[in-house]
Amino acid sequence: MARHLITSALPYINGIKHLGNLVGSQLPADLYARYLRGRGHQVLFLCATDEHGTPAEIAAQKAGKPVADYCAELHAVQAGLARDYGLSFDHYGRSSSPQNHALTQHFAGVLADNGLISEVSETQMYSPEDGRFLPDRYIEGTCPNCGFDSARGDQCDNCTKQLDPVDLIEPHSTISGATNLEMRETKHLFLRQSGMRDQLAEWIESKTDWPILTTSIAKKWLFDGDGLKDRGITRDLDWGVPVKKGTEDWPGMEGKVFYVWFDAPIEYIACAQEWVDAGKGEEWESWWRTDKGADDVTYTQFMGKDNVPFHTLTFPATLLGSGEPWKMVDYIKSFNYLNYDGGQFSTSRGRGVFMDQALEILPADYWRWWLLSHAPENADAEFTWENFQSSVNKDLADVLGNFVSRVTKFCRSKFGETVPTGGEAGPDEAALIEELETRLRAYERHLDAIDIRKAAAELRAIWVAGNEYLQKAAPWSTFKEDETRAAGQIRFGLNLIRLYAVISAPFLPETAGRMFSALNTLDTRWPDSAADALQALPPGHGFSVPDNLFAKISDEQRAEWQTRFAGTRD
């Protein structure tokens, strides 16, 4: 049994997330965590709401609520939606936790002691109309690199280029819309990333198995132009982790907080502390400190491509620069963007189908299947209602759901609600077992490699193989000539349903649970071999016929939803 630490990029607290956010980090991370647990491994799966920084302040201001109250409310909403989608976090924490405050201040102190933090006096955008310095995300303008007209002051969402507010063309305040911005002097702390470039480059170069998307973005930031720059890690904000050097005040930094992208990744570690403090686990250090046993942990991170620079450079610089024995990430699975009907999903602009809206019309497993089987791994993907309808109808209803329905209903009508006795496996069953053995091992290889679309395709092929067997065996016809042989065929089919429940659970946990319940079994063991798995339910074992697992989407429903979700959230 191996030990696996899995973290999903922290969703911002500023509202309910859209389907693109879901498939960009949390959902594939859950798939991997569920698969590893199914194989018998020990897993610690962590996530949290990212609650600091400008997005939280802006969202709270729009909601007319104190920012702390707003964050507490939205954390509960996001945690509830995570449960509704079957996301199996061991702990879903908060970056505003006392644990994260203390740990962020600790890292700042040790980095300063190691000469990796400098105090820099700089000029910064000030809005006389707003009466304040404007943090990066309170400033928007046109990106000088790609021309995107809504680039933020820290990064362009379109081309992912790191920016400073002064780089923007025609910048304006997102608070008031003011354009009469001016530069004034202020003092901030900078993480001296440039002094760690060689160490970071050597570390990244050693990750030869990482996705090209991950390493290409990291190397672009490392080597393009002037190379890796020092990064400001403080902001003039009221909401955040107060700037301290460990437990001591930091002279000259009064009234400032740490930059959200400095404290947010540290929450991964703090989240494990929260997990222990909540009484859910023990010895968080054995997962995070190599001097406490974490050297045998495999650590995998999941994120969208816009988060890659901070996870490959800033957070590693923090851990390495501390000189302390922290567990470094072993593998970063990054994703491209999922677009929506010819445009982009956007939380800030309310465009696309959001997690709560999706569940209003269909259960979570419908969305889990489509999103994972179309995960934007190698290129941007696009959600269309036509494709969604086709995938649900053909994959879930016609293949998996149809197989379960035909087998259980036929057995009930001819043999009752028990696994029938009699009939031995013949050539047809032997051929299917051989095919399933090959496909199961391929399915495992794809999941081990976190090749999600390939795994989904292999899983569907396994479902199809069962349908092809059932069609060829035709127990409804066999029954007329040889009831015993038909009994063996249908017993084989019932055991296929259990096998499908086991291996489909990472993708479709709620559906798998319904299948296990109908089969009246708690035997969820991952198959050592196809042959053994297909004998798990013995003759005489009772079962019930489940309700239809998946309803087809009609053309009328699709048209209604296309109109209802025309691209803008109310």
pLDDT tens for 301-337 read 999 999 999 999 999 999 999 999 999 999 999 999 9
pLDDT for position 58: 80
Residue 156 known to bind ligand: yes
Domain segments of the chain as ranges: 3-110+260-382, 116-234, 383-533
The predicted model gives 449-467 an average pLDDT of 98
Distance from chain centroid for Cα 258 = 25
Tell me if 234 sits within 8 A of 253, measured CB to CB.
yes
Cα distances from 351 to residues 16, 19, 169, 342, 498, in angstroms, run 12, 11, 25, 11, 40
Question: Which residues, 6 or more positions from 463, have their beta carbon under 8 angstroms from its beta carbon?
Answer: 395, 399, 400, 403, 500
Written as six digits, the tokens of 443 are: 């399915």
Which helix (H) or strand (E) is 112 found in, with range? helix 98-113
* DSSP-H helix ranges across 315-401: 315-322, 355-361, 364-373, 385-391
The predicted model gives 19-33 an average pLDDT of 96
Q: What's the rounded Cα separation, in Å, for the pair 567 and 570?
A: 10
Please determine, for residue 566, whether its predicted confidence score (pLDDT) is greater than 90: no
Interior CA angle at 445 toward 444 and 447, to 5°? Answer: 65
pLDDT for position 345: 74
Please tell me the class of the 3-110+260-382 domain: alpha beta
Q: What's the rounded Cα separation, in Å, for the pair 536 and 513?
A: 17
Question: Which residues, 6 or more positions from 228, have their beta carbon under 8 angstroms from its beta carbon?
Answer: 193, 194, 196, 197, 200, 221, 222, 313
DSSP 8-state code for residue 142: E
Lowest mean pLDDT among 104-108, 272-276, 426-430: 426-430
Percent of the chain scored above 70 by pLDDT? 98
pLDDT band at 392 (very low <50, low <70, confident <90, very high): very high
**CA-closest candidate to residue 167, choices 219, 118, 125:** 125
Tell me if 344 sits within 8 A of 567, measured CB to CB.
no
pTM over 0.85: yes
Q: What's the rounded Cα separation, in Å, for the pair 138 and 154?
A: 10
Question: Which residues, 6 or more positions from 117, have their beta carbon under 8 angstroms from its beta carbon?
Answer: 108, 111, 189, 190, 191, 192, 233
- The SS3 call for residue 139 is strand
Which helix (H) or strand (E) is 344 found in, with range? strand 343-344
pLDDT for position 225: 79
Taking all residues of the chain, what is their mean pLDDT, rounded to a whole number?
A: 94
Please tell me the class of the 383-533 domain: mainly alpha
Lowest mean pLDDT among 95-109, 130-144, 307-321, 347-361: 347-361
Lowest mean pLDDT among 54-58, 416-420, 514-518: 54-58
pLDDT for position 48: 98
Q: What's the rounded Cα separation, in Å, for the pair 191 and 264?
A: 15
The predicted model gives 499-520 an average pLDDT of 98
Lowest mean pLDDT among 141-150, 156-165, 316-325, 368-377: 156-165
Please determine, for residue 567, whether its predicted confidence score (pLDDT) is greater than 60: no
Residue 271 known to bind ligand: no
Number of residues that make up the chain: 570
For 247-286, how does the pLDDT look when each residue is reduced to its tens digit (9 = 90+)? 999 999 998 999 999 999 999 999 999 999 999 999 999 9
Lowest mean pLDDT among 95-99, 226-230, 238-242, 296-300: 226-230
pLDDT for position 132: 82
pLDDT band at 78 (very low <50, low <70, confident <90, very high): very high
Residue 159 known to bind ligand: yes
Interior CA angle at 127 toward 124 and 132, to 5°? Answer: 80
Q: What's the rounded Cα separation, in Å, for the pair 270 and 318?
A: 14
Q: What's the rounded Cα separation, in Å, for the pair 540 and 412?
A: 13
pLDDT for position 568: 53
pLDDT band at 188 (very low <50, low <70, confident <90, very high): very high
pLDDT for position 525: 95
pLDDT for position 122: 83
Written as six digits, the tokens of 485 are: 């042989």
Backbone angles phi, psi at 81, to 5 degrees: -65, -35
Residue 71 known to bind ligand: no
pLDDT band at 518 (very low <50, low <70, confident <90, very high): very high
The predicted model gives 106-110 an average pLDDT of 98
Question: Which residues, 6 or more positions from 96, have their beta carbon under 8 angstroms from its beta carbon?
Answer: 51, 52, 68, 71
pLDDT for position 347: 60
- The SS3 call for residue 443 is helix
pLDDT for position 419: 97
pLDDT for position 569: 45
pLDDT for position 136: 82
pLDDT for position 158: 87
pLDDT for position 339: 92
Please determine, for residue 570, whether its predicted confidence score (pLDDT) is greater than 50: no
pLDDT for position 170: 94
Please tell me the class of the 116-234 domain: mainly beta
DSSP 8-state code for residue 312: I
Cα distances from 283 to residues 88, 98, 537, in angstroms, run 20, 18, 39
Strand order in the sheet with 343-344: 343-344, 338-340, 381-383
Tell me if 403 sits within 8 A of 497, measured CB to CB.
yes
Tell me if 49 sits within 8 A of 74, measured CB to CB.
yes
Q: What's the rounded Cα separation, in Å, for the pair 267 and 5?
A: 14
Cα distances from 105 to residues 258, 266, 312, in angstroms, run 9, 10, 21
Q: What's the rounded Cα separation, in Å, for the pair 244 and 101?
A: 10
Cα distances from 55 to residues 138, 237, 349, 494, in angstroms, run 9, 11, 13, 51
Percent of the chain scored above 90 by pLDDT? 84
